[in-house]
Amino acid sequence: MPKMHIERSIAINAPVEKIYAIISDLRQWSGWSPWMVMEPEVNISYADEGKYYEWSGKRIGDGNMRIIGTKENVSVDLDLNFLKPWKSHADVRLVLHPHGDHTHVAWHMNSSLPFFLFFMKKMMEAYVGSDFERGLDMLKAFTETGAVPSKLDFKGFSTFDGCSYIGIATTSSLDVVDKQMESDFGKLWAYAANHPDQLAGDALTIYHKWDLVKNKVSYTACLPVKNLPNPLPAGMVSGSIPATKIYTLRHIGRYHHLGNAWSTLMAMFRNKEFKPAKNIHPFEIYRNNPRDTPEEQLITDVNFAVK
């Protein structure tokens, strides 16, 4: 069976004792779990004073996890079993290393895929690694502030009226995409400042291709406009999104945690909760301005065109 090893890490500005108390009590995992956030209605039961829990969900499947070993303020070892959508087992370890005023947290997992999914090894390692990154980001926020600035509001099906836009098309490494998008929108807003009467809606980003294995994303940062300028500003492109039926998942909180919304929508797609329309790429619309809105109040609507 194809073996998998996933490892991700993060620095958290908190003492090792505080982080250990959180990760060694499974009852606290619901506050930062990258999977539970995807399915708020998941059924969870705990036992052994937070050393064991099991879950049953439509999107995240069924399974259980037990703490099988701890070294106080150093490590937590877990036995993880998935029962649905297919059976598998994983050995999981969280390791803590204090460094001055912060703690380095490493999350390891060793597992294997069913033999018939051998061709998915690299992709599964990338997807699970992405989940670990989301989880560690939420653990950092949960530990440092007591809450994760990331909430999901399942808005459901509606109709998008369509729009024309000018934009900047980019392919970026996922490691620096936040800075790249900030630069792209900076150029767009500079244009908008000189043409305020041309704007026809909230800023948005169209995502053309995600490649987690290669760690790249292709997107177009856009401003909807009433009329396309002729000629286009240097370095910009134009296009349109047609009127279409959409499914919308609203994310409230830091843009840094938007992966929670995207991962949830992908889980919903796999669970056949909607069927994406062909030839219309997913897009996110920014409902308020990050320049004058607290991060925890930022509203982003992530939209999939559906049949």
Segment 29-60, tens digit of pLDDT: 999 999 999 999 999 999 999 999 999 999 99
Residue 237 vs residues 72, 190, 242: alpha-carbon distances, Å: 56, 15, 17
Q: Give the confidence band of 87 by pLDDT, cuts at 50, 70, 90.
A: confident
pLDDT value for 126: 85
* Residue 121: predicted pLDDT: 65
pLDDT in tens, 182-225: 999 999 999 999 999 999 999 999 999 999 889 999 999 999 99
Domains and CATH numbers, the chain: 3-147 (3.30.530.20), 155-305 (3.20.80.10)
CA gap 31, 188 in Å, rounded: 37
Identify the helix (H) or strand (E) that includes residue 49: none
127 pLDDT tier (thresholds 50, 70, 90): confident
Instruction: Report the b/e string of 265-275 with b at 16+ CB within 10 A.
Output: bbbbbeeeebe
When pLDDT is cut at 50, 70 and 90, the band that residue 113 belongs to is low
Q: For the chain, what is the mean pLDDT?
A: 94
Whole-angstrom distance, CA of residue 212 vs CA of residue 6? 14
Question: Which pTM was predicted?
Answer: 0.93
- Predicted confidence band of residue 4 (pLDDT cuts 50, 70, 90): confident
Q: Which residue has the higher pLDDT, 6 or 116?
A: 6
Q: Would the pLDDT of 1 be above 80?
A: no
